[in-house]
Amino acid sequence: MNLFRSEEHVARWLEANGYDAGATLSAEGICDLAQAWWGDRLAPDWRPHTLEQNQAILDGLGLTGEFWRLA
Amino acid sequence: MDVELRNRIYAWFVEHGQAPTLEEAGADEDALRRLHDAHALVLEPDLPKIRMLNPFSAVPTAYRVEAGGRSWYGNCVWDAFGIPAALGVDGHVSTTCSDCGEALEVDVVDQRPRPSDLVAHILLPARRWWDDIVFT
């Protein structure tokens, strides 16, 4: 999961490495995902997220579709 | 999952800035292996040594993060932004564009990135993230 200057740079990197495209998020989008996914990681009462909880995080951010299905 | 052990290891990491050894964690290899298998942390291949306490990396990476008056490493861009989130503070992420190598410096203030015109790419679909978490 890498950071790039722009979508053009993503496309060039994919081609250079022979990778199929995955999903591109804006910096705002990855920041929102990080907050929702990791925000409780140091909470004293932390409990493991269930798969359903994690899927709900993705769904809640509009990250839907086959690519974003955890199982 | 031994949540108490997991929480103790995370607290130790945040306090000391490095992953605890088995002795420092007060755990045996089997206990760490169980946390690894539950995706609560990631061990080095074939070694009872902690490599990742997501979003933190216990080893240097291309994603350096300044947050809470300390330097950290994230495992990837998602984790790098996750470090200020986990610590509940603003932060700064230093990395390079994976394509051209240009330095990218991003402030995270009130959970917003500045500049905000950069993009992140997630190569693998979600169900494959744990197939090879280091590659992911």
| Per-residue pLDDT at B39 | 87
Convert the pLDDT of each residue in B96-112 to its tens digit. 999 999 999 999 999 99
When pLDDT is cut at 50, 70 and 90, the band that residue B132 belongs to is low
Domain architecture of chain B: domains with CATH: 3-53 (no CATH), 63-114 (3.15.10.60)
pTM: 0.92
| Per-residue pLDDT at B135 | 62
Residue B136 has pLDDT above 70, yes or no: no
Convert the pLDDT of each residue in A9-52 to its tens digit. 999 999 999 999 999 999 999 999 999 999 999 998 888 889 99
Interface touch A27/B120, C-beta < 8 Å: yes
ipTM of the assembly? 0.94
Angstroms from B79 CA to nearest CA on chain A: 7
DSSP string, B75-123: SSHHHHHHHHHHHTS-EEEEEE-TTT--EEEEEEETTEEES---EEEE-
| Per-residue pLDDT at B116 | 86
| Per-residue pLDDT at B76 | 94
When pLDDT is cut at 50, 70 and 90, the band that residue B46 belongs to is confident
- CA nearest neighbour of B22 among B30, B54, B113: B30
Q: Are A61 and A33 in contact (CB under 8 A)?
A: yes
- Average pLDDT of the residues in B126-136: 72
| Per-residue pLDDT at B47 | 83
Convert the pLDDT of each residue in B14-39 to its tens digit. 999 899 998 999 888 999 999 999 88
- Residue of B3, B109, B122 for testing the chain A interface, max A β-carbons within 10 Å: B122
Query: A65 or B45, which is more confident?
Result: A65
- CA nearest neighbour of B14 among B70, B92, B75, B61: B70
Rg, C-alpha atoms of chain A: 15
Q: How far apart are CA B58 and CA B52, in angstroms?
A: 6
Q: How far apart are CA A53 and CA A58, in angstroms?
A: 9
Strand A23-26 with B119-122, pairing: antiparallel
| Per-residue pLDDT at B133 | 61
Find the closest chain B residue to A3 by CA distance.
Answer: B120
Q: Which phi and psi angles does B99 have, rounded to 5°? A: -85, -60
Cα of first residue to Cα of last residue in chain B, in angstroms, is 23
Interface touch B85/A34, C-beta < 8 Å: yes
- Encoded tokens for B87: 């610590």
- Encoded tokens for B3: 């949540």
Interface touch A25/B122, C-beta < 8 Å: yes
| Per-residue pLDDT at B1 | 77
Query: B132 or B120, which is more confident?
Result: B120
Q: How far apart are CA B74 and CA B7, in angstroms?
A: 19
- Residue of B98, B130, B133 for testing the chain A interface, max A β-carbons within 10 Å: B98
